[in-house]
Structure 1
Amino acid sequence: MDDAKGASGGDEDGGRARRGYHHGNLREALVEAALPLIASRGPQGFTMAEVAREAGVSNAAPYRHFKGREDLIAEMARRGFELFADLLERAWNKGSPSPISAFEKMSRAYLHFARREPGMYIAMFESGVAVSADPALRAASDRAMGVMRAASEALVMRLPPEKRPPVQMMSYHIWALSHGVVELFSRESAGQRASISPEDLLETGAMVYLRGLGVIPRDD
């Protein structure tokens, strides 16, 4: 274990990253070490040396798996999109029991993911990572965004053909609304801005949007 620093003795404060490395999975350890750093400092606020220190390895060890910080952030984003897609797919559940109720569940899943996995969320949406430059990252991103597109398509099918908006545009609208609520009202520093919960804010905003399109009948 030539890359470990202080491998002997207690590692109780090393967290999952150090335990993962001691089991031989250095790549996993580095990702786990980087996630809290990017969550607390942002994508430009940490160095590979700090990641190595948190993982309990030498400064050179991370470069066995990652070219640099951007490469590491791309891996965090890929894993984030995979988990994100899993959560959205389970919430959407192919539009069951109805597209509207499934859409509401999917919206809540979006906020739950952003709150539970801030490091991954930042890597995915706020780091400027080049999604198209990495085939695996692009595939994971496409799968997650595909759930939103499927939901949008199911919702617009409730409208007459001549009144249906472009599905891709609608999925972007839903994404933008969800991301805006996360940015403005789901961060710890912004928790007191609204008198209602982020979940209620997103749900009511989405319902207003769907009523405006005519997907949900207006209450006249």
Structure 2
Amino acid sequence: MTKRGYHHGNLRQALVEAALHLIEAKGPTGFTLSEAAKQAGVTPAAVYRHFKGREDLIAEAGRQGYVMFADLMQHAYDKYQPSALAAFEATGRAYLAFARKHPGHYIAMFESGISVNRTPELADAAARARAILERAAADLSQHIPESKRPPASMFSAHVLAMSHGVVELYARNSPGAASPFPPEDLLESGIGIYLRGLGLIASDD
């Protein structure tokens, strides 16, 4: 392979794309910067013009993932307005759709062990994504008496945890974790049980 070195058109993004492929194939700790450089078609020395190390490269992949994730969540939220319930449920489905469509980004964001506070840019992107779900939770929880209303951050954290569990166990082909139900149905029913417990949707009986 001819090394393109510093003449690469967009070396920084090429390295991110290489890292995403390697993350999918080997996990976030299963590759080296040299491997990312080789896949991007440049020398290892060229990498250090853009990233101090592998963790910084993964952090940038995660930042880009959060930007995409927030855009997807915002679109899902806006699409079902003014129904607070439909908008909230749509953000849950968007989480699952993102994990399936962008596994490399998802792993960099949630499974790499990289702190969202590693860079201000990463922290801002992650905060924007969380804020969308918190806003959806706040809109929906207005129907709960204030004395019984959970904080929107707690409400949204519960749903994020549920969504993440469905993704990890059933939506990304985890070995030995096949489910008799589609992940979408598992998530929808789980959110339904949660919302029913808060009195936000009527009981089935």
TM-score by length of 2: 0.94
Between the aligned partners of 1:55 and 1:101, the Cα distance in structure 2 is: 42
Runs ≥4 residues deviating over 6 A: none
Equivalent residue, structure 1, for 2:130: 145
How big is the shift at 1:6? 1.2
How big is the shift at 1:135? 0.6
Matched, 1:218 2:203: yes
Q: Does structure 2 conserve the Cα–Cα contact (< 8 Å) formed by 1:79 and 1:120?
A: yes
Cα displacement string for residues 41-80 of structure 1 (whole angstroms, at most 9, x for unaligned residues): 1111000000011001111111110000000011001000
How big is the shift at 1:192? 6.1
How big is the shift at 1:97? 3.8
How big is the shift at 1:147? 0.8
Between the aligned partners of 2:7 and 2:99, the Cα distance in structure 1 is: 29
User: Which structure has more RCO (C-alpha within 8 Å, separation ≥ 6)?
Assistant: 2
Equivalent residue, structure 1, for 2:170: 185
1:69 to 54, 61, 79: 54
Between the aligned partners of 1:139 and 1:167, the Cα distance in structure 2 is: 19
Structure 2 segments unaligned to the other structure (5+ residues): none
TM-score by length of 1: 0.88
1:57 to 30, 42, 51: 42
Between the aligned partners of 1:198 and 1:36, the Cα distance in structure 2 is: 24
Between the aligned partners of 1:169 and 1:182, the Cα distance in structure 2 is: 20
Between the aligned partners of 2:17 and 2:35, the Cα distance in structure 1 is: 12
Counterpart residue type for residue 133 of structure 2: M
Question: Residue 92 of structure 1 aligns to a residue in which SS?
Answer: helix
Q: Does structure 2 conserve the Cα–Cα contact (< 8 Å) formed by 1:95 and 1:154?
A: no
Further displaced range: 41-50 or 126-135: 126-135
Structure 1 segments unaligned to the other structure (5+ residues): 9-20
Between the aligned partners of 2:162 and 2:100, the Cα distance in structure 1 is: 16
Identical residues among aligned pairs (%): 56
Between the aligned partners of 1:73 and 1:155, the Cα distance in structure 2 is: 35
Equivalent residue, structure 2, for 1:197: 182
